[in-house]
Structure 1
């Protein structure tokens, strides 16, 4: 699908400031504890609801760089999603005034990769430019409670992808009341879970990984037209649980969907994007069941259920079946 025109108006683009790649933004602006997990390096507020951001992709990373096959030759789709998440989170805090202690809930998330990113120049890390157009879809008493981000990704002047993120924001106290009401109890934190999740983990090579710690699925089995498994992530994972979480994040479910798609289609395929909806939180203290079925030649449909209820549906785009 062809990308739309740049999200920036011509006059805004002509006066856009030069972004820096010399240091990262404040880790709190992107919800990270470890500075090594911050990839966003700059941010600029251009006009009303128009923003720029910059990110430097790490040349090596124990999680985002842990790939075999085709994925080892290009920036990880999960890394691009993470850069987009960081950009949207930074804009929410700095541009929209969303309070630091607010609860974030992603409701929809898509990524369309329209081509290969150019190789890094002179063996330097890739530098990512992000143009963002933001729609404040819900404002209550002057406070932004929901927003949609349309992010266009480019490298070296070449646009290669688009990411759309829709998110809701709730004050911390309100979010806690709602979670307790639906759960009937306080949610556990990830650091209270067993270091090694139960079940038989999927072999790393089957999901184009080298390190077993980066496998997100266990108890995989064949079903009609696809596979079934359960989400299984080590509680000490330094990226997924950089800081304690009270649910399986959208990024974790995206990774689980990517791996489920590879189990269905084979590790020789190229990931071309994701179309995701998140209906509710995936709780840590109940099994999250995964089913993945090849819907078309170019797409694997992945569904996540908990207590029999669908919590998320993610369509994974693929190409080049080998």
Structure 2
């Protein structure tokens, strides 16, 4: 589809008289680089000013991979994926970046500042991202570098912030950057059972196929080994490990490190409240990826009567001798919701 047709199908790329957002349907999946309609979270966007937007999204009450935690809080990686989709959507819808360009992520961060605002109730959660766009390396028509900074709100309540920096490249430029020849944009995948992977409950997931970790050679080293046929992590063919797959690996290892078994009855769980990922090189699909623990610290000593304190982690993804990505994350203690409060349709009092 050419850009003229894209503009005809999206006349609201100009400033609307009424900046209200529409949450009735999702945007076209091709505009957020998703193959499955069910994996599209962005519903609308309006222009507030120059390089200033309001982006609407809807988060499901449940999701096969990004499911609520035991306290009924929305998965923070829903926020990360919505940031990614918002940037890609604005690039195509407003800035007319060609649909065939390849998007390569440099870095992403997010912080949940008010976890209580993200509790799942009896209906999907409509979210708003106040977004500001900044060009970082614009050389059309082949190269478009940009950063998107967002503030997350639910029901008018600000509860998070985040950002993403990418470069969008035409096919020729992408092949030069990749440094490989003969790549057709996809590689054969091998589907199969998650043999040797850590059991899902230990990494905060529900299904065996969602676990991406395998025990490594030491207590501070693990292998990132996702199922390349996973319908969500690999929604469409790719020739490298996507940023969101690396982030999932960092999140699962973080959960494993901050939830040692066994725990004492009544101990508060720890929830991921912030993460910052730097992508330093392409993570190849056919090269073993090691996740290495570089730093584990408590931000403070537990208060009197408090079993656990906030934890901070620094993890690296390594292929051979090359660090391909690094992640700094924070995990904060939360109190378990009472069983009577987990009735479907009722709000959950989250700490």
Instruction: Please indicate the TM-score interval, normalised by the length of the shorter structure.
Output: 0.7 to 0.9
Query: Which TM-score applies when normalising by structure 1?
Result: 0.86
C-alpha distance in structure 1 between counterparts of 2:160 and 2:78, whole Å: 13
Q: State how far apart, in whole Å, the 2-side matches of 1:219 and 1:293 are.
A: 16
Q: How does 1:1-322 map to 2 (within 5 A)?
A: 17-65=19-67, 68-70=69-71, 73-118=72-117, 123-141=122-140, 145-179=144-178, 182-183=179-180, 186=183, 189-190=186-187, 192-196=188-192, 200-220=196-216, 222-223=218-219, 227-266=220-259, 268-297=269-298, 298-320=311-333
CA distance in 1: counterparts of 2:224 and 2:205, whole angstroms = 16
TM-score, normalised by the number of residues in structure 2: 0.79
Between the aligned partners of 2:281 and 2:193, the Cα distance in structure 1 is: 22
1:158 Cα offset (Å): 0.4
CA deviation map 1:152-179 (0-9, x unaligned): 1000110000011111111122212332
Q: CA deviation at 1:45?
A: 2.2
Q: 1:287 to 1:16 in 2, by over 3 A?
A: farther
Q: 1:220 to 1:142 in 2, by over 3 A?
A: closer
Deviations 1:126-150 (A, max 9, x none): 1000110011111225776211111
Distance of 1:278 and 1:119 partners within structure 2: 28
The Cα shift of 1:91 comes to 0.8
Return the offset for 1:307.
Answer: 1.8
5+ residue gaps, structure 2, are 1-16, 261-268, 299-310, 336-351
CA distance in 2, matches of 1:50, 1:32: 24
**CA distance change for structure 1 residues 104 and 187 in 2, over 3 Å: closer, same or farther?**
same
Change (3 A) 1:47 1:321: closer
Q: Distance in 1 between matches of 2:47 and 2:259?
A: 42
Q: Summarize the Cα distance change of 1:188–1:221 in structure 2 as closer, same or farther, 3 Å threshold.
A: farther
> Equivalents in 1 of 2:287, 2:185: separation in Å?
11
Q: Is the 8 A contact 1:273 1:317 kept in 2?
A: yes
Cα separation, 1, equivalents of 2:286 and 2:141: 36
Cα separation, 2, equivalents of 1:184 and 1:121: 47
Question: Per the alignment, do residues 84 and 278 of structure 1 end up closer, same or farther by CA in structure 2, a change over 3 Å counting?
Answer: same
Q: Which runs of 4+ in 1 moved over 3 A?
A: 67-70, 119-122, 141-144
- Distance across 1 between alignment mates of 2:317 and 2:118: 35
1:9 corresponds to: none
Say if 1:136 and 1:144, in contact at 8 Å, map to a contact too: no
Distance 1:261 1:97, change over 3 A: same
- Contact 1:68–1:210, Cα closer than 8 Å, also in 2: no
